[in-house]
Amino acid sequence: MLANSAAACAVVLDAPPWRLSGMVYAALLNHRAELDALGAAAYEPPYKAPPRAPVLEVKPRHTHAADGAVVRVPRGVPALCIGASLGIVIGAVARRVEAARALSHVAGYLLLGDVSVPVPNHYRPGARFKTRDGFCPLGARVVPAASVAQPDALHGRVQVDGRTVHGFDTTGRVRGVAQLVADVSEFMTLQPGDVLALGVSHGAPLVAAGSDVVLAIDGVGALSLRVEAEAP
């Protein structure tokens, strides 16, 4: 476990529930462009159809890291895929909530980094590609929900060594914030302090060791990462 993993949980909260629970879930294939890019692969075995319910990935505590963390590129891997996601912080127990009421269960939002070893297909990536130490950096502050008027229309960017290499926004989702909370709450209970990530946008860049990365979402925050090679 990274030494800075515990520090990542010391997030400043300006709204209830005042601290994170440590549970982070991320939606996969929630950007329509990413789902469209699968093409015919979405209809191949074992699923033979695009997903009908949210596809979630659990981000264990050892993957959590703080702003300024060092992310290690595993040996034999040329680069990491690094994207940014809007983290939805749950403020009240959400169990089978309707989309029309879902935002009342949201305390606020924070920036979440999503790091992975590149995989050809995101239907069922192995844990070794997604859940390594430090692969889920978290922003240092939760912005109260009342301060984010349109969470489904936010702009963001990924910068590598001072240059913007990927611009994105939170539009074009299979499920926007309210619908994602509602649909996830149909099959699992979300607790106060849980974080549900909206998901990375299609086209997140590949970043090689020796790079400095800044992730940002307007109105939510920014965080920086240093990408270095794993020690031999």
| pLDDT tens column, 21-65 | 899 999 999 999 988 888 887 787 777 888 889 999 999 999 999
Q: Which two tokens stand for residue 69?
A: 């963390």
What are the tens digits of pLDDT across the range 166-223?
Answer: 999 999 999 999 999 999 999 999 999 999 999 999 999 999 999 999 999 999 999 9
Domains in the chain, number: 1
| Continuous H helices in 70-126 | 99-102
CATH code for the domain in which residue 31 is found: 3.90.850.10
Residue for token digits 């319910």? 53
The pLDDT assigned to 195 comes to 97
H or E, element range at 177: helix 177-184
**Pairwise CA distance, residues 7 & 223, whole Å:** 14
Strands ordered across the beta sheet of 221-229: 69-73, 221-229, 211-217, 155-160, 163-169
As a whole number of angstroms, the distance between CA 72 and CA 137 comes to 12
Q: Are strands 64-65 and 136-137 parallel, antiparallel or unpaired?
A: parallel
Q: State the residue range of the domain holding 116.
A: 5-229
| Angstrom distance (rounded) from CA 154 to CA 164 | 17
Pick the closest to residue 35 from 123, 110, 97 (CA basis). 123
Stretch (H or E) spanning 35 = helix 32-38
Q: How far is CA 86 from CA 46, 49, 219, in A?
A: 30, 27, 11
Does the pLDDT at position 14 exceed 70?
A: no
Share of the chain above pLDDT 90, in %: 75
pLDDT score for 223: 96
Confirm if 168 and 135 have CB atoms less than 8 A apart: no
